[in-house]
Structure formats: structure tokens, C-alpha cells
Structure 1
Amino acid sequence: MQRLYSSIPCLLPFFLLTILFPACKSPEKKMADQLSASLIPLPIKQSPGKGYIALPSLIHISPDTSSEMVRLGQYLAQTMSEKYHLQLRIEDNKPDSGNSSIRLISGPGKINGKEGYILTIDEQGVTIVAGTCNGIFYGIQTLFQLIPVPQMNIRNHGTVWLKKMVIEDYPRFPWRGMHLDVSRHFFPKEFIKKYIDILAMHKMNVFHWHLTDDQGWRIEIKKYPKLTEVGAWREDTRDRPWDYGQHPVVPGKPVYGGFYTQDDIRDIVQYARERYITVVPEIEMPGHSWAALYAYPNLSCSGKPFFVAPGVPFEFTDPYCAGNDQTFRFLEDVLSEVSELFPSPYIHIGGDECKKTPWEKCTKCRLRMQTENLKSVEELQSYFIRRIEKILVARGKKLIGWDEILEGGLAPEATVMSWRGEEGGILAARQGHDAVMTPADVLYLSRPQDTESQLVNEDGFYALREVYAYDPVPAVLSKEEAGHILGAQGCLWTEETQTPEEAEYKILPRLCALSEITWSPKENKNYQQFLKRLFYHYNRLDLLHLNYYIPVAGGFSNMAFLGSSTTVSVKVPIGGYSVRYTMNGNDPDTTSARYVHPFQVYSNDTLRVAVFLPSGRHSRVRTAVFKSLALKPSAVINDAKPGILVTAYTGDISTLDSFATMKQTSLFTMDSIAIPGNLPKDTFGLLFEGFIKVPADGLYKFFMASDDGSRLWVADTLLIDADGIHGPSEESGTIALQKGFHSFRLRYFERFYGEGLMFQMQGPEAGKQKLTKEMLWH
């Protein structure tokens, strides 16, 4: 006894350690904590409990044991087996035994809202309660996110731990959508289903399917077989950049295209319905209809033969003839078949970018305007849309269209999809109409995820940040008007997206941000926290074998410097990413040096940088070349005159090398680098030539964005080469200049479809700015 008591002082420190420092959490429970804190979209309310439970292996369904509820149980079990390698079994007709299980409980009055749910994890297991099957489905999506994907669960040998908690959740908006253009490039049925799966896992509920456009008709219409026999095919130009040429199908040459049969449509619609996603079809009218007019040219104003063009812009296409009753009989037949195929309450009719000049010249259209007392072609478009709305209303459908349907007066029950900024949605809401917000400058996910010009100062997530920062309800609307904003949607136009892999890369992870701004409360938004959650969410995207964008490292670019060396800093994205780099000409891999702090580089060094996930997947590799520059000596100019000399040319042009074949039309001076206002709309060129006067010795960086091509020489050195037909994208070049005059030459041309020339300079004594008139001489 004395020996036992004498040992107590020795054991006391261990008792104290046990009390003060409880046993460390296992890696599996730490993972459960992390997953519960990484949900996307963020729930309305998440209340953590104390402790953990093992994932039950039994699914119990009550009190509603309908076939739909049983199907949801089967969906849960099948997904757990196929994606997570976990085996669950279902009980749907037996009393609840009280054992730990996953309970799916659906019935009226269980929770407010059609899509809301409550998910509880406690000693009884996992319980998902909802008023409808929609809510049960969204609760299941949240449960999936709480379970580690197989590669995260390697050490756990089958047991999955869940953190105890209660989640109360429902969406902010009823319209949480994503669009896909299958006209510009066609995508197979299997990918459409995968696209729907991406939406479903993010609790999005509308798939806007852009089925027809100038470049291809993609839906089978039984009454008009030529729509797909002819209108679904065009010359195969996929080996060339998307252009604005007009390429008829030539016998014997390869063709490109495809379409969905009506059986395909039914299969996809059912697949989406089982994931509580409404498929909204879009049948473009009155413009963007060349594919249909290719098949049935009698529906145009001219009646002339057409062809499907892979890149022609809408200004060069013809609309349906609004004065021809055959047009409306044709569209009524088409919309009748479409309405039967799609249970969606909405049919999207396009209505955007309609070239109206053929109507102005058309005898039938002018007669229609006279008969209907229409004062303008804008009112004729409104007449067209209103007549189509009557066709849809008669079939129990609602009309939705792009914001151009506001022009000339809005159809009585139409819903507006606002893409040219927010103005269309604001105007619709103030007129008492519903609207869906999809402003192109934020929610057109066909825009690049990043550009080199932005990455000089930004990290690789700036485009994601723009999406996350967007709020679908414009601040100028009253509370009553804001009630007409149904939600928001992203759009993927596919002019420059040919494959499923490219489509995935364009939308992810921006779709993740979109899902949160349409589901979660505005006051819960936190961008820094979202990025941390996204880092773990990539593992969930891997379950679907998706090709997603990983943020690139920013904060650096090609750099010229004075002296023997300079310092490079790299912006590391928020999260748990590692940045690795090389200086030996090889692309970095998981064994390359890890960036931890700024470092020195020397002339002719080449830096290659990539951002890595723990899985080993990495971002695209960014490359920067460093060069020490010597000052270019200034020119001795004794008789310089103010202003830059400008020569204007006209003629067909598609490259700067065509200048020699163009006609010179005028010669004048300007005190800025800009497009003068007295030029023709298209097919012109400009040559700016003279001298630039810089105020001090040092490095000068020139920035230029042009639509279309441009080239810049300074001090007889080619700094920027942006030749070709393209939209504005900023390019830059740096040169070391001695104080004084230096030769300056800039060539620019505009082919068609918009023009633009932005030119700026950054020097040792001033930031990025336009050139002043004191700098330009000849």
C-alpha cells in the first residue's frame, strides 16, 4: 500500500497532461473538420456540434416512400459506391430501427421553401429533412461534400468520420443558371450530361441550352428535316483560329457539325430532371438565324441562297422576314415540337443582335409595318416578339429573351435576360417584368481566366474575384423591384472553345463562385474565405475528372532592367498552393525549387513558374525573360515640328503586310495616338510616323490594345507585334531610352466588326498614361 501511494507523485504529471492536453485528433477527424468548413456554396446557417460519428452504412427513407424518394436513395448509394468507394444499403419500407443510419425524410411542412433542407449529424446518424424531393437532393449534395474523396482518405481504410453539426439551408434565388452554346461548336450528348452533373453538385438548377445560331442548327425538328440535314453542317475550319470569313460547304471538303435527335433531347431532359435541373432551350430569332435560312431561304427577306458560316458576325447575317406569314407558320411548327420536348416553363427565343437593314428594304416588311401601324423597325421587332409570345403562351410556356427584346416595347409576359450590363434587367424590373442577370463583362465565362497583361500586378484569380464580387440585384432597385430579379446565370459561348476539356477549363472554378452568389446570402460572402474553401473543393472536381483552371502565379512578367541584376517577386494565390520554379529552361515539376521569398535574376535568365496542388496537378506554366538593356541614344533633330504624322489608307486588308496594296487617302498630323473620327467604318489602315520625345534617361514601357492588327517600333526597334484580325487585348514592350527624341512608327488596321486603338506609356518619372502632345513630333 505504501508503495502504491509513493508512486502517485510520479503519475500526477501524466494525469495533468491528459486533462490539460486531450489526445490529439486523428488525421481523419481533422479532415472531417476541414471538409465541414469547405462547403461550396456556403450554407445559410451551419451550427457545429461536439464530436464525430462514423458514416452509417444504412439509408432509411420515410415517411414518403414514393418512387422518387426511393430513386434519391438509390442515387445516394450509387454515387457513394462509384465515386467514394463506400457501400450503403437502402431500407424504404421498414420501420426506423433507431440504429445509426442516413435518414431521408420528406413531406409537407418539414421546412419552408421548395429547395430548402436541414441536415443533421448526431448520434442517430445523418438526417436530411426537406419539404420536397428537391430539398432532399440538395441535402445529399452537401453530404457528398462532407465525405473525403478517395485520395484524401488513403489512411482511413474505409471508416469515414463526420463532424457533428446542423445545417439549415435554402437558396437566395430561384434561378441559378449556366448556359452552353452548342452552335458555334458541337458537344456530344455524354458531355451535356457531365455538364449537368457539374451544375447539380453546385446546387444550380437551370441549364440554358443554346441550340441554334448562325453557325449551326442542333435540334431535330421532324416537320423540317433540312434544318439538321443542311443547317447542322459547315466547312470544317477547326484547324484555324475562329475567324469572320464566310465559308460555304464545298463538295468533297471535310464538313463539321452535328445535332441532337429528339430521343437525345428526351434522354438529356430526363437526366437533368433527376438532378432537379430545368433545361431551357434557346431557338434564336429573328436574328442569328442563318443556319435555318441556309435550309429554308424562302424565310428570309431576299429569298436568296445562304450557307452556314463558321465565323460571320451578326452584322453580316439576315434575319427571318417579319413580313412573311410563312415565317410565323414555320416558327410555330418549330416551337410546337420544342415545347413538347422540354417541360421547362420557359422557352428562350434569343431576340439579340438582329440586323434590321433587310427589313428596311423588304417590301413585305414595309407592308407589315404599314398594316400594323408600326413606326420603326424596332417596333417591327417588338411585333415579331409579341407574336411569338402568343404562340408560346398558347402552349403553356413563358417567353424569355436577351435584353434587346425591350426595344420597341416589351411583350406582355416576357422575361428579360440582361447581358449588355445591368440596364436591361433594371428596365424590365421597373416595368414589372422578371429578369435574369448575366452581364457579359462579368458572367460571360467564355472570357479568358487570365491574361498576361493583368498578371503583371494581379494573382491568377482576378477573373474569379470579379464573379464572386458580383451581386445580381442592382443597388438602384427598390425592394419591390428587386423581387423581379429571378437570379443570375453564367454563359459559355464557344467560338473559341472546341472540346469538352476546353469548356470545363473555361467555366471552372468561376462556376463555383457563381453558385455561391446565387445560393448563399449576400451578407455571408467572404472572398478570402471562399478561396480557402475552393482549395479543398478541387478534390471534389477531381471526382468528375474535370479539367479546371488552377490559378497561375502573378506579380511578374518579362522584365528589362538597367544594371547587372534585378529582384523578382511572385504573387502566391491564397490557399495551400505551392509555387515552384526553374531557371534551367525546363518546366517546373513537384521536385523543382519552391518559391518562398524574392530572389535575384540576371540578364538573359529565363524563369518558369507553376502553381501546384497537393495532388500534383498544376497551373499552366508562366515564363518570363529578363534582360539588361543599354540606353538607346537619342536622335539629333534640329527642325522637329509638333504632332505625329498620320497616313490613312483604305482597301481590303487582313494583315499589316497588306499595306502596300492599299490606297493612300490622306496625310495629316495629330497630337495623340488615336483613331481619327473622319475614317470609314471598316477596311482602313493608319501609319503613325515621327518622333517621340522622352523627358529623362530610363526604361520606358509601351502598352497597346488594338482591334484589329497593330505593330509598334520605337528607336528602330520592334516592341509590339499584334498583327491579324482580333479583338482588343493589351500587349506591351519595354526599351531603354536616353533623354530626347527617338524615332516612332505605329501601323494599325481595322478589317470590320468594331475598331479600337489604345496606346499608353510608362516611364521613370510617370506611371501608365496616354502620350501627351508635348511628346509627339515629326
Structure 2
Amino acid sequence: MRIAVKIVFLIIILSSVLAQAQTQIRLPNLSDSLFSTYYQQRVSHFKLLPATKNDIVFIGNSITDGAEWSELFADINIKNRGISGDISAGVLHRIGDIGKQKPKKVFLLIGVNDLAKGISTDSIVKNILLVASWIKQESPSSKLFIQSILPVSDRFKKFEGHTNKTDSILKVNSKLNSFASGYGYTFINLFPFFINQQGKLNEKFTNDGLHLLGEGYLLWKHIVFPYVYDLQAKPSLIPLPQQLTWNNGFFPLYKCHSIMVTDNALMKEAEKLKAIFTEKGLQTSISNKAGKDETDIELRLNAQVPGMTDEGYAMNVSENKILLTAKTTHGIFNGIQTLRQLMRDGAMIDACDITDHPTFSWRGYMIDVGRNYMSMKFLKEQIDVMAMYKMNVFHFHATEDIAWRLASKQYPQLTAPENMLRNKGMYYTETEIKELITFCKERYITFVPEIDMPGHSAAFKRAMKTDMQSDSGMLMVKNILKEFCATYDVPFIHIGADEVKITSKNFVPEMTACIESLGRKVIGWQPGGNFTGSTIRQLWMDDNAHHASGNEVQYIDSRHLYLNHMDPLEAVTTIFNRRIADKEKGDATTLGGTICMWPDRAVGKEEDVLQMNPVYPGVLAFAERCWRGGGRSGWVANIDDGDKKQFIDFEGRLLENKKIYFNDKIFNYVKQSDIVWKLYGPYDNGGDLAKQFLPETKKGDKANSKFYKEVTGGTIVLRHWWAPLIKGAIENPKDSTTWYATTSIWADEDGVKNFWIGFNNISRSPATDSPPLDGWDTKNSAVWVNGKLIASPVWLRGGQKGNSEIPLNDEGYEYRSPTKIYLRKGWNDVLIKAPIGSFKGKDWQNPVKWMFTFVEIN
């Protein structure tokens, strides 16, 4: 047998050398008879299993074979291709079958059995590098991760041929690490995580010095988890805590026997944390005392913590304990949301210290259900997302010209179907509103109802047959307010009072006095009505009155925070860079901000509100900014004009949260910070938008092409439709000019890829016209890939005049089928043509959006 093994390795080494000397990598031709019967049994089994896509394959010997990988990760796409006793030659012999399946990822750990058979470290490394080269050649889109050989221990007096090879193991690991970049794989060094103080396999992970116990596999899972799912090395926390220090070691969630609380006020929070454990498939109990030598989590109220705010918390995670401390139950709740994100893999938490608090006290999200009704289930989903990211105000815009959706015992005609223009008969009962208020309170979210007055009140007028500002109308409104305040336990009433001609100067002051007499505070939109000094103003457009008010009036900022106007990629850029209320942090007058969702236009189904608008990516960007404070002065539309380094970091955390927490939700955002464009222009087109210029007529010849600058992003705003308030990529844009943009994109292999492409991201509010039948937009914009013109979509309603009652269908790239483009292996050239005629739209519902989007999506 020893002779046969040596012959095998002689053949492998020779094949490896010859293969690397040739252009085409070839695997050695070995006989099945050279391998064990168990090896043959496993290989024959693997060959007959059904072929599936997007597999993540773990290959190796008995150490890999011993894991229930799909159960460990709760992922059926993770496949075990370990074979007990396998060697690097065995992997070479069967890698062809695995490669044919084009797996998404391959995790390889092999070599300790080779060492036990006397095979040299160089031979093992050459075999593994041949595997890497072959995968790169035959399945270039497959990502290869080569894991270090694990440590061994001779303490158990077993597997003596294996457990005396520590020096050789370290040599192999070092060489595999050094070759990673050149051979196109990622090296994962497992070794240091599994050793004891003597540098041997830690006894808590093994009972024979070579193979792993269950705890060892959970540690293995924790280490490779970010590689399996393309995550960052440490959990991507949103909002990022004010102070965060990562320490050495891990808290084992599977050993957490209890959640300890000594204050009954924290029982509800303990139950919430226990429910998170259950979601992760973990069992724990709630106790009022710590067990001896137990690994546990303690929730503790401490009003004496220096500098701690009511919503702040402190957390220490060590190897055997997690201590979460706060002044209030709200602070504990916020800490639990951070703890949920730290628990991302359900196995272990990285040791750390966190001290955290919000910089703004008001962190809100507004949804307009007056124009488009939303089900209770759909609203609760959005509220749950708010809570997870520590937002604390749910602004409920429930009355509009379209419909009045708040039940009234005194005036039931308000919600009669005949008085609604959309979703007729759909409104919220007293029971449902109370249910929403309770649902919010359980998550430390303040429910803020808006009853719009005296504007946006056509539904009231249809139902009551009078205008709100009439004497009879004012009496009815007061009665509605009294009924509402007597029925619902809410601290604020939002009265709107914007976009209306005030015909009765007493209306707003009288309604304000009425609400305040009922023990509620009043909020109104600014610019808006003739408010009293006690009214909290919610800014909806640029208004400098808040700068001149001294310390008398409180404000909430919602300027340029309307998600329905934003391109999805621009939304995250601009919101992340915002400086809320023009201040670094909140104070007595600057409360914070509210991000708003106004789906003015009719929607076909409620899910379209999330599909057609960047709600969840926008909410997460806003949660980060409102919690942490800071940001840039002015309004940023493009990545390069903001804090690019911080944006790249946030984008990574955003995409990780999308992958882990939104895989069953609509989250229309993709990575864009790695796309760099070269802008060329301006070219004077004299009003002829079809006119061709050098970048278009001599593709690839950039001489005399008027290079302007480089810009970054999937969406590039050349001139913002709200210019000059918001800066675009072009400093001094001129009408009747044409610009071009070029970039290159890489493809691992030939094939069709999906892209978001757009040139006019239609706002979901006004009655904007549909794109023309024969083009991307009315500006004659175009895109080529490798010299081939990419056809615009066959629009469902091409050329249709805008109509607010006709739901959008395919007008935006984020809610139509992606454009499919064939890419060749290697670099592919992209050319964008972006002409402009006049900056003035034909009417206010059709603003000129001079922009383009081009980004690959999965």
C-alpha cells in the first residue's frame, strides 16, 4: 500500500509540474482502485445526487465529512463533499465532478492525512494549487476558499501518525497563505482559533486529538460564516454604535443557559431576547439569579451610569458573559437590537465593548395611507424594521383628498366608500388603530397620527358637505379631535396645515388650542399655517425660518427626505450624507428628523410601495444618520461629493443587513461604490439630441474626447432636477449639450448578466408621462456594451400621458425586469450617451432628470 501511495504521488507531482507548464490545466488520470472502498462509496453517491445551482461545497477528509453542514448553516445549498481518510490526490481525482456543477463556492481543507502518510509539504501544496488552478480554469465564477490544516494534539495517544505533525502543518499553512493571491483563492487560517496555550488542538474541541467535537464545528461555522455569505469579518451593525471595541474571544450562544434579570421591569425585554434565541434555533431560559459557572446574559437597569441617556446602553461581551446595562427599559431594548445583529450566525458572538446612545431624540418614518391604503400586516412589517434599527416615531398620515381612513363614531360618513376615490371602503377601525398604537409602544415607537387640516381635506368636504374652514366645518373638526383624543392614547396630533390657502385666520390657532386643551402637543408642516409658538414644525422644503427662531420653536427635519422622489441608489447616497436639521446633533429645539413615503400616485398593490421606492435601504441609511449624527452640509446627490470613505463602509454594512435580514423582503439596492465612470464633454448639440460625437463615432479612441473627470456610482446625477439647491456631477451644466460616460466591467466567464439601466427615474408622486415607445427617454439617451447598442424596454404604456390614477408598471428600473446583456469573459466596455436639450420640463409633473443608472445586479 505504501508503494502504491508513493507511485500515486509521483504521478501527481509530475502531472502538476507538467500542467502548469501548459496553457491548459489537466488533472492527473488516476484509477479508482487506488482509493479506499469508503472513498469509492462516497464518490459514487456524490455522482448520482441531483445537480443544483448556487451550491456551496465543503471538500475535505474526515474532519469535513463529520459535519452536518446544511443543518449547521440551516442552508440546503451547502453540500458536504468530505470523505474520511481522503488525501490531496483524492481531491484531485474527484474535483472534476464537483467542478462540472459550477458551484458558487468551494471550501477546501485537506492535507493532514497526506502528512501522516509521509508525503512532503511541497507535494501537498502543489496538489492543492493544482486544484485551485483547475477550478479557476473550468469554473472561473466559483469562488475558492482554501482553509488551513487544523491543529492536532498528542495528548490522547491516538492517531500518532497525525498528531506529531504540528511543524509540517504550520509549513503547509504558511505556503498556502503565500500563494493565495497568485492563484486566485482566499486563504482562511483556522489554525490559531483552535489551539490551546501550548499551540496544540484545544481539548474542548476534540476527544482524540484529530477530529472535532460539536463545539469545534460551531467555532468553525463562526469563522467561515462571513466567507460563506460574502459578509464582513465582524457583524455589520446599523446604526453603528458610538463607541465599539472588538476584543479577543467569543461568547458561545449554544452554551447560554439563562437570561438573568433581577428587576421585574425587564421581564418583557427578557422575553423579547428569548424570542430572538428561538428564531436562531437556540433554547435558553429566564432566571433571576446566575447559576454557578454558567454562561449567561444579564440585563441590568442602572440609573447611575455616568453620561447615559434614556435611550442609551452599554454592553460587554466576554467569553462567558454578556452584560447589557441601561438607565431605562428603552435603553435595554435598543441594546437587544444590537445584540440581535451580533448574533448573526447563531453560534457565537465576537467579544466586544459597546457604549451607545442616539444623537437625535426624534427618528421617524412617515407613511401615507390616505392616498393608498395599506394592510395592518404590511404596516407592522415596516414598524418591525423601524424597531430593529432603533427608530422611534411612526408618523401615520391617514387623511387626504383621496380618502379619509380614520374611523369616527360621530361621523361615520367620513369613511363611507362613496366618499373615497381609491381603495373604496378601506379604512382603519378603532380596534385597528389601538392595535397599531400598542404594537408601536411594545417597540418603544411613538405613534403620531396626522389629520390633515385645513388642506388635503377634499375627502372631508365630500363627506361633510362643507369646507373645514367654514364655521360648521370648524365645529366638526373640533368634534373629531375630541373624539380622537378621548379614544386614543397618543402624545402628539399632527395637523398638517400646508399647501392650502388659509381663508380663516382663526382655524389653525383654534385647532391648536383645542388639541392642547386635550393634553396633546401639536405638529404642523412648515412652510404651512399660521402656527403658534408651541407648535412643533416639520420642515418639508428649504425654509430658513428655523435658523431665525432662536430657541423658541422645536423642529423636525424632513427636507429632501421624501423617498418617493428618489432614485434608489441616489437615495442611500443622499440620506447617508445628510446633516439632519443642519446640526451635528440634536438639542432642545432640534428634535431630529422624519423620512417620508408619499406614494401620491395610485399603486396596483401595496407591495409596490416598497418595490417602487427605496423604503428599506432609505430607512436604514436614515437610522444610521439620525442615531450617529454628523453628516455633510448641503445635500449630496453623488458619492464623490460626500464622505466617500465612510459611505463605502456604510454600504458594506447595508448590503450585509440586506442579505441577512431582508432576504424575504423588498430591498432595492445593490453595490455601487466600486463603479467608476469617466465623463467626457460638453459637446454642443445645438438642440439636436441625436447628434453624434467622437466617443460615439470612434469607440475606444479617447483622443481629443474632452475628458472631464471621474465619478463614482451606479446612478450618476449630472444635473439635479432641484438645481442649484442640489449639486450634480457637472459643475456648470449648460443646456443643448451631450455628455458621455465610460466604464469597464469584469466577467469571470461568457454569459448573460442582469442590469439596472435607466435615464429618468420617475417620481412616484406626480402624474409623469411614461417613456416614449422608441427609446429610453425623451432625451435620446443611449447605452452600448462592447460596441453593441442596448435596446430600450418594450414599455407596457410607452408614450402614455401621465395619469395619477394609472399605476406605474415598468417605468423604473427597480420595478421592471432587469435588462439582460451578454458579457464576454474578461473586461467589457460600457459607453453611456446622455444628451440634454432644455433643463425646463414641459410642466411641473415632468421635471427634467438628467441622470443615468447602469449597474449589474444578481
**1:328 shift after superposition:** 3.0
2:268 maps to 71
Distance, in Å, in 2 between the alignment partners of 1:573 and 1:133 is 42
Distance, in Å, in 2 between the alignment partners of 1:64 and 1:23 is 43
**Bigger relative CO (Cα 8 Å, ≥ 6 apart):** 1
Query: Are 2:245 and 1:50 aligned?
Result: no
Q: What do the CA deviations read for 1:160-193 (whole angstroms, capped 9, x no partner)?
A: 0211001111111110000000011110111111
Contact 2:450 2:494 in 1 (8 A): yes
Report the CA distance shift for 1:619/1:528 in structure 2 as closer, same or farther (over 3 A). Answer: farther
Contact 1:217 1:292 in 2 (8 A): yes
Alignment-mate amino acid for residue 328 of structure 1:
M
**1:515 shift after superposition:** 0.4
Distance, in Å, in 2 between the alignment partners of 1:708 and 1:95 is 71
1:508 maps to 616
1:436 maps to 556
Tell me the SS of whatever aligns to 1:61: strand
Report the CA distance shift for 1:170/1:544 in structure 2 as closer, same or farther (over 3 A). Answer: farther
Tell me the SS of whatever aligns to 1:701: strand
**1:447 shift after superposition:** 1.3
1:248 maps to none
1:496 maps to 601
2:331 maps to 135
Contact 1:704 1:731 in 2 (8 A): no
Within-5 A mapping of 1:250-399: 256-298=424-466, 300=467, 320-322=468-470, 324=471, 326-356=472-502, 359=503, 380=505, 383-399=506-522
Distance, in Å, in 2 between the alignment partners of 1:130 and 1:110 is 8
Within-5 A mapping of 1:207-218: 207-218=394-405
Distance, in Å, in 1 between the alignment partners of 2:746 and 2:665 is 23
1:685 maps to none
Distance, in Å, in 1 between the alignment partners of 2:547 and 2:418 is 36
Query: Are 2:340 and 1:144 aligned?
Result: yes
Tell me the SS of whatever aligns to 2:432: helix
Report the CA distance shift for 1:583/1:328 in structure 2 as closer, same or farther (over 3 A). Answer: farther
2:842 maps to 708
RMSD (Å), alpha carbons? 4.1
Name stretches of at least 5 consecutive residues in structure 1 with no aligned partner: 1-6, 154-158, 237-254, 301-319, 360-364, 366-379, 451-460, 590-597, 609-616, 627-698, 710-724, 734-778
Tell me the SS of whatever aligns to 2:272: helix
Distance, in Å, in 1 between the alignment partners of 2:713 and 2:592 is 33
Report the CA distance shift for 1:204/1:567 in structure 2 as closer, same or farther (over 3 A). Answer: farther
1:675 maps to none
Tell me the SS of whatever aligns to 2:384: helix
Query: Are 2:583 and 1:468 aligned?
Result: no
Tell me the SS of whatever aligns to 2:349: strand
Higher strand share: 1
Tell me the SS of whatever aligns to 1:186: coil
Tell me the SS of whatever aligns to 1:177: strand
Report the CA distance shift for 1:137/1:482 in structure 2 as closer, same or farther (over 3 A). Answer: closer
Identity, % of aligned positions: 23
Distance, in Å, in 2 between the alignment partners of 1:420 and 1:618 is 28
Report the CA distance shift for 1:567/1:203 in structure 2 as closer, same or farther (over 3 A). Answer: farther
1:449 maps to 567
Distance, in Å, in 1 between the alignment partners of 2:368 and 2:790 is 43
Report the CA distance shift for 1:88/1:465 in structure 2 as closer, same or farther (over 3 A). Answer: same
Alignment-mate amino acid for residue 602 of structure 1:
G
Contact 2:248 2:351 in 1 (8 A): yes
Find the partner of 1:28 among 219, 222, 226: 222
Report the CA distance shift for 1:605/1:330 in structure 2 as closer, same or farther (over 3 A). Answer: closer
Find the partner of 1:601 among 781, 786, 805: 786
**1:335 shift after superposition:** 1.2
Distance, in Å, in 2 between the alignment partners of 1:181 and 1:556 is 40
Report the CA distance shift for 1:556/1:344 in structure 2 as closer, same or farther (over 3 A). Answer: farther
Report the CA distance shift for 1:63/1:708 in structure 2 as closer, same or farther (over 3 A). Answer: same
Contact 2:309 2:357 in 1 (8 A): yes
TM-score normalised according to structure 2 size: 0.55
Contact 1:567 1:600 in 2 (8 A): no
Distance, in Å, in 1 between the alignment partners of 2:822 and 2:223 is 46
Alignment-mate amino acid for residue 538 of structure 1:
K
Distance, in Å, in 1 between the alignment partners of 2:170 and 2:697 is 63
**1:78 shift after superposition:** 2.1
Equivalent pairs, count: 524
Distance, in Å, in 2 between the alignment partners of 1:36 and 1:11 is 32
Distance, in Å, in 1 between the alignment partners of 2:417 and 2:846 is 31
Q: What do the CA deviations read for 1:35-86 (whole angstroms, capped 9, x no partner)?
A: 64511111010011111121144342322123xx22222222223323x3x2
**1:195 shift after superposition:** 1.1
Q: What do the CA deviations read for 1:717-747 (whole angstroms, capped 9, x no partner)?
A: xxxxxxxx832133699xxxxxxxxxxxxxx
Query: Are 2:682 and 1:487 aligned?
Result: no
Distance, in Å, in 2 between the alignment partners of 1:349 and 1:467 is 26
Tell me the SS of whatever aligns to 1:515: helix
Distance, in Å, in 2 between the alignment partners of 1:471 and 1:195 is 24
Distance, in Å, in 2 between the alignment partners of 1:226 and 1:177 is 31
Distance, in Å, in 1 between the alignment partners of 2:436 and 2:527 is 29
**1:551 shift after superposition:** 5.2
Report the CA distance shift for 1:389/1:114 in structure 2 as closer, same or farther (over 3 A). Answer: same
Within-5 A mapping of 1:555-594: 555=677, 562-563=696-697, 565-566=699-700, 587=754
Distance, in Å, in 2 between the alignment partners of 1:288 and 1:582 is 55
Report the CA distance shift for 1:511/1:424 in structure 2 as closer, same or farther (over 3 A). Answer: farther
Query: Are 2:309 and 1:113 aligned?
Result: yes
Distance, in Å, in 1 between the alignment partners of 2:456 and 2:333 is 37
Within-5 A mapping of 1:3-14: 13-14=167-168
Query: Are 2:313 and 1:167 aligned?
Result: no
Distance, in Å, in 1 between the alignment partners of 2:784 and 2:848 is 30
Alignment-mate amino acid for residue 507 of structure 2:
F
Report the CA distance shift for 1:52/1:61 in structure 2 as closer, same or farther (over 3 A). Answer: closer
**1:395 shift after superposition:** 1.3
Contact 1:35 1:536 in 2 (8 A): no
Contact 2:469 2:507 in 1 (8 A): no
Distance, in Å, in 2 between the alignment partners of 1:174 and 1:603 is 53
Report the CA distance shift for 1:27/1:488 in structure 2 as closer, same or farther (over 3 A). Answer: same
Alignment-mate amino acid for residue 501 of structure 1:
E
